[in-house]
Amino acid sequence: MAVAKGNNSSPYLAICHKDRYLTEAILDSTQICNLEDRYLLGEQLGWGQFGVIRSCSDKLTGEILACKSIAKDKLVTLEDVRSVKLEIEIMARLSGHPNIVDLKAVFEEEDYVHLVMELCAGGELFHRIDKHGAFSESDAAVLFKQLMEVVMYCHDKGVVHRDLKPENILLATTSKSSPIKLADFGLATYIRP
């Protein structure tokens, strides 16, 4: 399991699984399970420096989620590996807040590390602004208030995001009044008092 310790030393768990044929693991895990045993992968939703994000559905519940697949061959330095481990740890620590994308599970295979998380149907705030233009002052104030509350929550948990931008602020639904969800903790780190 990937375990993150909160400020009060209580553990926040994200179940971490590894493929039974994995020869070189980068994550600590004793759970043996393959991603495709539990989830059906769907269409590609986006991509980043280390991999792709696809929709996926839980075979047990039917829930539609997102799966960030990080290509291990792109993790060329020890710092890259440390960054992925830290992202998982931080997401596990922060999961459960209404304005943070929930991390559901982590799977490690020979070529990929998969992060299964909540799917935000409204997409990126960046695309909403690009498509519909500027927000009204009152709508912007609501979003900004949510953003400040989630940033304060992160800081209270000892985490700084370090990559706040419209591309990393997702909209939970397609509704005009959708709440935001902070995503992509790949550059996040702990605050040292």
- What residues form the annotated binding site for ATP? 72
Extract the runs of DSSP E, i.e. beta strands, from 26-134: 31-32, 39-47, 51-58, 64-71, 103-108, 112-118, 123-124
Nearest residue to 70 (alpha-carbon basis) of 101, 132, 28, 26: 26
Query: How far, in Å, are 63, 103, 130, 134, 177 from residue 185 at the CA level?
Result: 23, 11, 23, 26, 24
Chain-centroid distance of CA 132 in Å reads: 26
Catalytic pick from 102, 139, 163, 184?
163
Q: Is 140 helix (H, G, I), strand (E, B) or coil?
A: helix
Q: Is 184 a catalytic residue?
A: no
Residue 86: what residue type?
Answer: L
Catalytic residues: 163
